[in-house]
Structure 1
Amino acid sequence: MRGIYTHLSVSSRHLTSLIPIYLTSILRSSIAKMDALPGDLVLAIAEQLDVKSALKLAGTCKHISSVIRAYERSVVLTRMKSFLYPPVGNVLSSELCLRRPLRHGSFEMMKELERRESAVEDILTKAPVYINIRSPAMLGDLDDESQIRLSGLLKRALAQCDHIADIAANAPCKPKEKHWYLNLNRRYWEIPDLAWGFREKDPYTNYSARPYQREHIQSLPLEEVVMLLYLVTALSLGFLESMAGFIDSDPAVFERTTMFEDSVLRHGSWFIWAHAVGGTEWQRMSMKIVTVALVELSDYESGREDALPGLRSALLERFKELTIIDEDTIPRMFTMAKRIVTGKDPWPEEDPEEDDAEGSGDESGGEGGSEDGDVDSDENGVEDSN
């Protein structure tokens, strides 16, 4: 009996020693089979994966790696079709106190788009002080259908903010070097009346991109303008609420709020996520960005020659241009946003004097003769977002 146990023990040890050899043989066989996979099949698989999974697939063997790397741009461009608003050029990375230009069609760019998609979802679902889909600022409680429509419209507006920010990553703009970003923590950009030309190196105000960003905003159609203006205003109301304990002690709180809105347009989901969701370090970064913008505003209002107007002013100008409204701009914007979100008919670019005349006979006091201040539509209206 003892001999049997000894034999079994020896056999067991022998089998254990054979396992690595056996597994190696299987692995080699699997790799050989993977080496034989047609390139088209490899690409078809890679195009269905997120970046992390595609890179893991590329790491399985040299053959697959060479195929995926050789057709990186093709894989990325195919994957980009799954995004609601894919970029048309380079994009900026979303790092703490740093935004690097990422080449269009690269895996690094795709990873950034996936990060933005996650950030936008966080903004819409995890920051109710800033965005509340069920009962959004100044729009009242919404039914399920309107909530779905609002969510889509806000995603579109956030993508528009990201596009405005990404203008800085494309020609003719020149990307800012890393050390200029680091000056944020050194508070260098908070120095008022910086020496001539140095503000242009500030990546947080991004003067070199400003004219092109303003030009883009001033080319947007009415519905885009309304929802973009609604987004920055709703976020600023949340910002004011978060600053409630400092309103009495901060004489520049309302100017700070204005520059918070401008920063939303300049930096998109990177800035919004940082402030509303990102935690202590990220929120500290966002507040420093607002402080830098506030210094820039002071330079502009003091009449400094090289100071440029902001992006919020370009958005308001475009809204007034399309609606021919010079007064009560924000209340009228809220009325228009409510119409879009609730799926009502488009409105015209009306004559305010005519609108006042029509509204004067309305018992409810609403503008344009309607209960909620809605205006009628004509051929100049914009298409419904859906």
Structure 2
Amino acid sequence: MSIASPAGSTTIINPDLTLLIAEDTDLATLLAVASTNKHLHALIHTYEHSIIKSRINAAIPDPSLQPPFGSLLSSNGPTRQILPPWSFQVAAELERRHSRIETMFNNFTAPPTPLISAMYRVPSFAALPPPQFLHLVTMFKQACQLADQISDLALFVKIPVMARDPPPADPYSVQKAIHRTRQAYIKQLSPLELAALTHLAALGGMAYAEEFGEMLGSDPNGLERIVAFKETIFREGSFALWAFLHPEEHKVEEGLTGLGPPSLPPKARSSGLGRYIGRKVEAVLGDIWAYEQGLQELDGVATPLEVDVPDWDKEGARDGMEDDDEDPFVVLHGLHQTVMAAFPKPIQEPEEDDEDDMMGEANSQSEDDYVDYEEGDLSDEDEQTQEEVETYPADPRAEVILEAVRSAIPC
């Protein structure tokens, strides 16, 4: 980096110091500074890979969520491209994803964002005290990063080179290979990661239904579209949530709100990102219909990912959920308990009628029930007594899982 001296000459700052500054500077400022001096331009672009690696390590401390080969799928346009590894484009994409996730889960806006509003419609989530609710929000932000990681796994699938006269091949071989790679990754997730990812898809389904409103209720395929959108979150990552729920990124043009696929909410139909995801949802919906109608073999067209659920969670019972079709928050019992076991159960204040009943019962006790305890020094016992907190009941089959959850998130 160079600075102007009082005498009018230019002084070159130590290159090592310049690189340290580059690692902590936002990308727009860094590129603007590099364009002001040919020495800076050459230095920054020579060490582009090392700068980006340092920025990724700082932005994503969890190594499992970092791009293993330094490349990502772009999400700044109506098509997704493979970005050059360890490039400034990758850094820009990471900043874009982080900004979108923070916006979608901003808990301090009025009115609340679609996903925060969906969280408050889940009784067990809404009952959490504010500090624990913020922990839950952080968990879902990490689930968005996990969904992005699953989406980027498409980069690992190699497209075979076509020969001049190739034999008849399966036209869905690449798509099936991508799905197998993603399914293998999902199966090795920890219980907490699996639970958070499933809850993220459920919240997305609630927000998706809210955006459609009455239109979804009059659609005979409405519920199937919700399922297809949840599946699209696993295939496209947080990009799918952003394109549908925050289409203000693009100017809404009059006359275009009636266009777009049926799976696209009205307010997102003029957005290039929304129309792209809408086509993806329609494609998933077609896969689901074909699979259910038996129009293909089990190993034919790639079937939905279907997040793999452990054997201990096959009952599918819902706990603490409202049976309301307008809020399609459907998760399996064990997965919901895995999340809620990380937080103490809030103590509910008794209502006025309950207080009167309790006082009446206490006054009706006879003197015969009185027990005269002997006096004693209880100071030592008081020091050893800790306040007991009522928690959500743990499933005996998932005791090990719940222990991992409790150690993962501070209460």
- Alignment of 1:257 with 2:226, yes or no, is yes
Could you tell me how far apart the structure 1 residues matched to 2:187 and 2:177 are? Answer: 17
Could you tell me how far apart the structure 2 residues matched to 1:196 and 1:293 are? Answer: 22
Q: 1:134 to 1:301 in 2, by over 3 A?
A: closer
- Alignment of 1:88 with 2:49, yes or no, is no
- State the TM-score, normalizing by the size of structure 2: 0.67
Q: 1:30 to 1:131 in 2, by over 3 A?
A: farther
C-alpha RMSD of matched pairs (Å): 2.9
1:299 aligned partner, one-letter code? A
Aligned to 2:292: 301
Could you tell me how far apart the structure 2 residues matched to 1:134 and 1:287 are? Answer: 24
Could you tell me how far apart the structure 2 residues matched to 1:106 and 1:79 are? Answer: 11
Identify the match of residue 243 of structure 1 among 199, 203, 212: 212
Q: 1:63 to 1:343 in 2, by over 3 A?
A: farther
C-alpha displacement at 1:32, in angstroms? 2.9
- Alignment of 1:382 with 2:372, yes or no, is no
Could you tell me how far apart the structure 2 residues matched to 1:200 and 1:275 are? Answer: 29
C-alpha displacement at 1:123, in angstroms? 1.3
Mind listing any 5+ residue stretches in structure 1 that lack a counterpart?
A: 1-25, 176-194, 345-369
- Alignment of 1:157 with 2:143, yes or no, is yes
Q: 1:137 to 1:196 in 2, by over 3 A?
A: farther
Q: 1:325 to 1:29 in 2, by over 3 A?
A: farther
Could you tell me how far apart the structure 1 residues matched to 2:344 and 2:408 are? Answer: 9
C-alpha displacement at 1:165, in angstroms? 0.4
Aligned to 1:132: 117
Identify the match of residue 90 of structure 2 among 109, 122, 125: 109
Matches within 5 A, 1:254-333: 254-279=223-248, 280=268, 281=271, 282-303=273-294, 304-305=296-297, 306-311=300-305, 313=306, 315=307, 317=308, 319-321=309-311, 323-328=312-317, 330-332=331-333, 333=335
Aligned to 2:336: 334
Q: Give the match's secondary structure for 1:103.
A: coil
C-alpha displacement at 1:374, in angstroms? 3.5
- State the TM-score, normalizing by the size of structure 1: 0.71
1:326 aligned partner, one-letter code? E
Q: 1:199 to 1:213 in 2, by over 3 A?
A: same
1:162 aligned partner, one-letter code? D
Identify the match of residue 119 of structure 1 among 84, 100, 115: 100
Aligned to 1:364: none
- Alignment of 1:48 with 2:39, yes or no, is no
Could you tell me how far apart the structure 2 residues matched to 1:300 and 1:29 are? Answer: 76
Q: 1:241 to 1:145 in 2, by over 3 A?
A: same
Cα contact 1:133–1:151 (8 A) shared by 2: no
C-alpha displacement at 1:43, in angstroms? 0.5
C-alpha displacement at 1:134, in angstroms? 7.0
Q: Give the match's secondary structure for 1:47.
A: helix
What fraction of aligned residue pairs are identical, expressed as a percent?
22
C-alpha displacement at 1:124, in angstroms? 0.9
Could you tell me how far apart the structure 1 residues matched to 2:57 and 2:68 are? Answer: 12
2:48 aligned partner, one-letter code? E
Aligned to 1:12: none
Kindly provide the CA deviation profile for residues 64-102 of structure 1, in whole angstroms up to 9, marking residues without a partner as x: 111111111111111112223432232100033211111
Q: Give the match's secondary structure for 1:92.
A: coil
Kindly provide the CA deviation profile for residues 363-385 of structure 1, in whole angstroms up to 9, marking residues without a partner as x: xxxxxxx9844336744542433
Cα contact 1:239–1:257 (8 A) shared by 2: yes
Cα contact 1:134–1:147 (8 A) shared by 2: no
Matches within 5 A, 1:6-21: none
Could you tell me how far apart the structure 2 residues matched to 1:265 and 1:28 are? Answer: 57
Aligned length: 304
C-alpha displacement at 1:296, in angstroms? 1.7
C-alpha displacement at 1:326, in angstroms? 3.3
Could you tell me how far apart the structure 1 residues matched to 2:223 and 2:139 are? Answer: 27
